[in-house]
Structure formats: C-alpha cells, structure tokens
Structure 1
Amino acid sequence: MSAGNLLVIQGGGPTPVFNTSLVSIVEEGLKQSRIGKILGARSGMKGLSSGDIVNLTSSAHADLASIANSPGAALGSSRFKPTDEDLERCVQHLKDLEIRYLIFMGGNGTMRGAQAFGQFCDNAHFEVQIIGVPKTIDNDIAATDRCPGFGSAARFVAQSTLDLSMDLRSLPQPVSIFETLGRDVGWLAASATLARRRPDDAPQLVYIPEIPFSTSAFLADLDAVVSRLGCALVVVSEGIVDAGGTPVFEQIIASRTGTPNRPLIGGVAQYLSGVVAEQLGIRCRSEKPGLIGRSSMAHVSEQDRSDGAIVGREGVRALMAGATNKMVTLLPLSAQAANACDLVQLSTPASFSRRIPDHWLIKGADTVTQDFVEYVRPIVGQLSHYNSFL
C-alpha cells in the first residue's frame, strides 16, 4: 500500500496501560517514512463518525511521556455501535484525511467492530489496512497469552486482598466480602489467590463465573472457615452465576444512560453480605472498589507496562509489513526470547471470549490450581507481603 496517514481508535473500558500502548504506537509511527500524520479519533468510532479527530504527530515528547503514565484513555473511549450511515461517514472521513492505516485498540467487542468495519470498507471499495491491538483488564481475549491491562488490575486485586486481610486480623471483623470486576470471566478474582502463602491465608474463599455458585455451599464453607479461624475474607467476581446461568445478583433497573443491551452490573458483595448476616447471624462487610481497580496507577505491573508498549509498537510494524485484518498477540513469557508477539486473524478474538481453562479450576474453596498461580505471578509482579503479627 502507498504512503498515507495512520488513525488510532481506542474502544471499550480503559486500563492502567491503555495509554502506554497509544504512546508506543505514536513513537513507532514517527519512525516510519511511509506514515505521514498520526491521528486519533476521540471517543472511538463515535469520533470517527462525527469527524472529531486530533493530530497526534505534533504532540511534544514531554506530553507523550506524561500520557504514557496516565490511566484512562487519552483519546476518550466508547462502546458506540455505528449504523450503516455512521460507517459511511467514517469511510468518507478516512478518505478526506488520507488514512491508509488503522489501529483499533480494545477488547473482544472492539475486535469485532474492527473486523466488521474492515468488511464494510471492502464492500465500499476503500482500501485500508487494519490491525487490532489487544487490551482488557478481564484477560478474556482469545489467542493471546495475556492482555495488556490485566496484569495491573490483577495486581490491584491481589495486593488489596493482602492489605484487607491485615485490617481484618487487626480488629477482628468476622467476614469481609471483596467484589472484583469481571462480567463473564474470573481471571481477576482468581488472581487474589496470589496473596496466599500459607493454607489459611486470605482469601479463604474465592468465587468466579467459571464455577457455578451455590448459596447453600457458600454459607456452609463460610461458616466452617469462621468457626475455624474466627474471620474470613471472601473474594467474588461481580459476574458469578448459579448452575442455571442466572446471575447471583443483578440490579433491577439497568442504567438508562448505559450501553444498550449491556446493563450495569455489580453489587453482588453487598447482596451476599446481607445473606450472610441473615442466614448465619454473622456481622459481614462488603467492599466494592469498582473502577478504581482498573485505574490505579499505584498498582501498575511492570510486565503489564512492557506488554502495553510491545503490542502498540508491533501493531505499527505489522502495518508496515503489509498485514491487515489481524490482531497482535503476546506469546507466553517463556517463549519471549524467540519472539514476543504473533499475529492472528481478527475473526479469532472477535468470535469468543477466553475463560479460565477447566484444567486450572478446582470446584471448591481453592478455586484455581497452582498452575494458574504460576501463570499469573510473573504477569502481576511482586506483592508487598508483611511480617506476622506480634
């Protein structure tokens, strides 16, 4: 493809290293002679549809360094679902701006959108190269070993579990239920197990969407832990479901300003704390950090920061190599000496979400195997463990 301009689109929920990838794209793009301007669409596809475009080429180096170490999405993000009319306007803006290269940064939904837009461009006989750059705190993108954003959010969960357990032991509060993000998968909640060094360490109980939740089993397990230890720290994913696939808790009234067909979830920890108090007569608190878990720069994982930069850089290089309709993937850390990244068809991450594999699951209080812990430990990085109580 001939020389042209590059446009970057950020989509979906932000992460602590979302902007690390963005800046890496800009820095690598500035090195490529076939790339003219580097542009960004504000608020994702919504911005491209409306023509709300910012020139990233002129960003000062100092500004880029600051942006790279900022949470959120510097360009703004959205879960905008464009109509055909919106897509027609998008194509026209690409033509007007002489865009020849497109990078979509996001999760499964963004990759589905990138694939669909690529098909729309083909049908419109508009030639453009499209590359996907993965990001999500959920770690549920298929075909990549890990997702930039997950390591930092998982480090927040694991460290917060450790810290909360120290508070719990200091002034014994019988039960605390800590709720993590995770609509469909339990990678984040299960990462709390990194806090354990001894069998009775917190979290004593962990519940994730991959394993059906039973209220009666939960109450029996919790009662046993409290009887034995005097207190318990429980970690639950916001998306846990029962054996029939029904959410354990969901809000009665979905947010009217939210994304269509994507009701606002969360609150299962508070709900379960009420169940515990009523059924077991035990004092129980609930903790719901919510979006703080994906915006805390104090908990950024160094591996995660590195991964964010790698996928951004490799996305640009893939475009320059002539690739299109592909997504950059990270290879397992053990294989990085040979090659850190690979490319897969956009249809792969667009088709399904990756759950924790069955061979890493244990039905019961332990939840995940040691193999899961060994997988996630280098991604999360070092935690601050504390000395025993006097």
Structure 2
Amino acid sequence: MPGNMLIVQGGGPTAVFNASLASAIRERAKQAPGGRIYGARFGMQGLSRADLIDLSSLSSDALLQVRNSPGAALGSSRFAPSEADLDASLRHLSSRGVDQIVFLGGNGTMSGAKKFAEFCESRSFSVQVMGSPKTIDNDIAATDRCPGFGSAARFIAQSTLDLAADLRSLHQPVSIFETLGRDVGWLSAAAALAKENEDDPPHVVCVPEVPFELDRFLDAISNTVAKIGWALAVVSEGISYANGKPVFQQVLPSGGKTAMRPLIGGVAQHLSGLVAEHLGLRCRSEKPGLIGRSAAAYVSSQDLADAELTAQECVRALARGETGKMASLLPLGTGASPSCELIPLAAAAGPRRALPQEWLGTGAIASNEKFRGYAAPLVGQLRRPRYL
C-alpha cells in the first residue's frame, strides 16, 4: 500500500499559492489513489503541534474553489521550529504513516525543507521531501521565475496605470507609489511595464539594487512636473542609500519582529514629505502594502499555470522516488510549453536573487528593455486607458 503525503505552506501568501496546493492534491490522488493526503495548518507550527487536516476527500468543486482562492488555504507561518518541535513532528508523521512531504514556499521555506530533510536523516527517519517555489519577490535562486510574482507584478503595473489616470485627470501634481520589496526590486521594476512613451508613467522607479540618491530623485520629479505638469514615482519599501542606511525605517516599539524580520514600510510617505519640503509641490503617497500580494482580480494566466505545474512536478518526482529537490521553472520558450527541472534544495535555499545588473536602467527608471522582455509575458496584457 502507498504511504501518505503531507503538504506544508510557508511564508507570505500569494494570489496563486492555493493553485499549487490544489494541483498537488489532484496529482497525488492520481499517483497514489489508496494513500491519504494531509495538510499542516499554519506550516511547520501545525506539524509540530499535530494540527493536521485530511485533504483526501475534497471534492472536485472544493478543489476548484481552493485553486481560485488567494492567500494560503491551510494557513501559513514563518515559524522556526526548535529541536523539540522537530522531534514532535517526526512522531506526528509516523503516527499518520506519512513518508512524503511537499513544501510550498519561498527562500525561507526551501531552506527549512532542506534542514528538515537533514534532520530526518539524522534521526534515521525515512521520508521524501520536495519543494515547490512560491514568492512574490521573485528572488529564489536557480529558477527562472517564482509563482506568485507574475500576479503581484501585474497588480503593480496595472495600479501604476490606474493611479496615473487619476493624476492626469486632476493634477495633484505628484504621487509616490510604494511597493513591497525588502531586499530586491522585482516588483517595483514591474511598474515600468506601464510605460510606452517617454512622458508615460512611471517617471521614476527606485529599487534596492540601486543606491538611492535624494538629489537625483528630486531633480527627476521636478523636471517631470515642469515638463508635463505632474509626476508619478514608484519605490520599493527597502531602498537604501549608498552607505546601506535605509531611506526610511520604522522605529516603533510595537513593530516587533517575525522570524528576525523588522517591520518596514512607509518610505513613500517619508519621501512625499521631502518632495513638499524641497520642491514646494503637493505630493501624495500610496501604499497598497499587502493588498497586491493576494489580489485575486489580478491573477496572471502564466503565473497560475506555473503554480500548478511546479506542484504537479513535485508529486510526480516523489512517485519516481526523488527527494531533496525543488521544481525549478525553465525560461519561457525553452520547450513547447512551460517546463521544469529538478534542482537540489541546497541550490534553491541559496542567496536571494537580485535584479541582474544587465537588466538595470541607467536613468530615473531602474529597469531596462531586457527586464521588460522577461516580465511582460509573466504579467500579461494590461488594461490601458484612452486619453483625449
């Protein structure tokens, strides 16, 4: 008789996170119809506390609802298990006959999957472990793209167009749009997909990969307003000066830390104050924050397909006896359809992937045509306004 499988969701949710979950459940039911499929509630925290639910009997309609739901249907976390937690996890896996695990998540989850596999080996506990990538930050090493990014990038690009429509209709005259992006600027760079002509928004895009220069930023804003009467800038929340100092960082006792990650955000509001102070211009800040991370209305068709494919390939690899791997997406155009290859979890858990130097712009826009060529197929067609 086949053993049983467990699915774990970890890290920040996305608009297509549950598409991976549903895909893994469907494929497992095909590969091993006699086995049970469990889900850990709130990631490794749920596994360590035996908070597991049976997903084996979900109907086709229920799976379709899960697939089309944003967020993390099982609940997610950034829980860092202790050795006692890990030992408890092995007991819970053993009691339910689980010998295969699929981890759905980002850098931290892939690193955690690798460590958990090593812990199991150190305890002579036989289990196969596979990783299915996910993150809106698009910063997992050794994969062409990460499910979750395309949809979040679509939200940013379309929101840039929509915000610009408001500014063009009634000049503010300046707005600064803040995106998520603690260490890397993939999401902010995606705003440039809104731009078709020189005067189109965004007029400034700032990413963590390029040191921030206040004078250069203010000059770009001032020159754009002088030319067309308004300006729109897009900035990553984690931008820093050349000395490494964040342009803005919250200093609040209530900020707290999650898995040693200080709470950040608010740089757009900070910069709007500097624009008003130095340029004497009325300036608004926009901070959608987490809204774009799980925005169901902005799901990219390519992103959805990638999310389903990576989870499916993980389950197929388990059926072949593979372990300790992640399903890595190959570049579009590599084959007749999107395809994967398996890479060691150690490679996936490596350093964060920043925007490549050759994709960075040299002017006020931090990305160039090479980046646009990469990102446009992942984002899909945007709804562009018509002006008279």
User: For the superposition of Structure 1 and Structure 2, which TM-score range results when normalised by the shorter chain?
Assistant: over 0.9
Q: Give the aligned partner of residue 24 of structure 2.
A: 25
Tell whether the 8 Å contact from 2:80 to 2:259 is kept in structure 1 after alignment.
no
CA distance in 1, matches of 2:253, 2:28: 41
Once the 2 structures are TM-superposed, how far is the Cα of residue 228 of structure 1 from its aligned partner? 1.2
Is contact 1:211-1:363 (8 Å) kept? Answer: no
One-letter amino acid of the counterpart of residue 226, structure 1: V
Matching of residue 99 in structure 1 with residue 98 in structure 2: yes
TM-score by length of 2: 0.98
Structure 1 CA distance for aligned equivalents of residues 183 and 365 of structure 2: 20
Contact kept? 1:326, 1:344, Cα under 8 Å: yes
User: 1:320-359 counterparts in 2 under 5 A?
Assistant: 320-337=319-336, 340-359=339-358
State the identity as a percent.
56
| Cα distance in 1 for residues equivalent to 2:267 and 2:303 | 28
CA shift for structure 1 position 249: 0.5
TM-score for both structures, normalised by structure 1: 0.97
Q: Helix, strand or coil: the match of 1:376?
A: helix
* Paired amino acid for 1:56: L
- The residue type paired with residue 150 of structure 2 is G
Q: How many Å separate the matches in 2 of 1:224 and 1:254?
A: 39
- In structure 1, the gaps of 5 or more residues are none
**1:246 Cα shift?**
1.5
| Pairwise CA distance, 1:216 | 1.6
For 2:167, the aligned partner's letter is: L
**Structure 1 partner of 2:178:** 179
The one-letter code of the counterpart of 2:285 is S
Q: Distance in 1 between matches of 2:234 and 2:351?
A: 26
Confirm or deny that 1:363 pairs with 2:362: yes
Distance 1:254 1:103, change over 3 A: farther
CA spacing shift, 1:98–1:24, aligned 2, 3 Å: same
What residue number does 1:166 align with?
Answer: 165
- C-alpha spacing 1:291/1:254, structure 2 compared with 1 (3 Å): farther
Deviates most, 249-258 or 221-230: 249-258
In the aligned structure 1, how far is the partner of 2:232 from the partner of 2:203? 6
| Aligned-partner residue type, residue 9 of structure 2 | Q
> Per the alignment, in what secondary structure is the counterpart of residue 25 of structure 1?
helix
Report Cα offsets for 1:100-143 as digits up to 9, x if no partner. Answer: 10000000000110011111000000010000000000000111
Q: Which residue of 2 aligns with 1:8?
A: 7
Contact 1:136 1:148 in 2 (8 A): yes
Instruction: State the partner residue of 2:136.
Output: 137
Q: What letter is aligned with 2:30?
A: K
Aligned residue number for residue 59 of structure 1: 58
Counterpart of 1:383 in structure 2 is 382
1:13 to partner: Cα distance: 0.2
Q: Could you tell me how far apart the structure 2 residues matched to 1:368 and 1:337 are?
A: 28
Does residue 152 of the first structure (1) align with residue 170 of the second (2)? no
Letter in structure 2 aligned against 1:345: P
Offset from partner CA, 1:264-316 (integer Å, 9 cap, x none):
11100001001111111110000000111111111110000111110111110
Q: Following TM superposition, where does structure 1 have runs of at least 4 consecutive aligned residues deviating by more than 3 angstroms? A: 254-258
Measured after TM superposition, the shift of residue 197 of structure 1 is 1.1
CA contact (8 A) 2:6 2:100 kept: yes
How much has 1:227 moved relative to structure 2? Answer: 1.1
Unaligned runs of 5+ in 2: none
Give the superposition deviation at 1:35. 6.1
Q: Residue 212 of structure 1: CA displacement?
A: 0.4
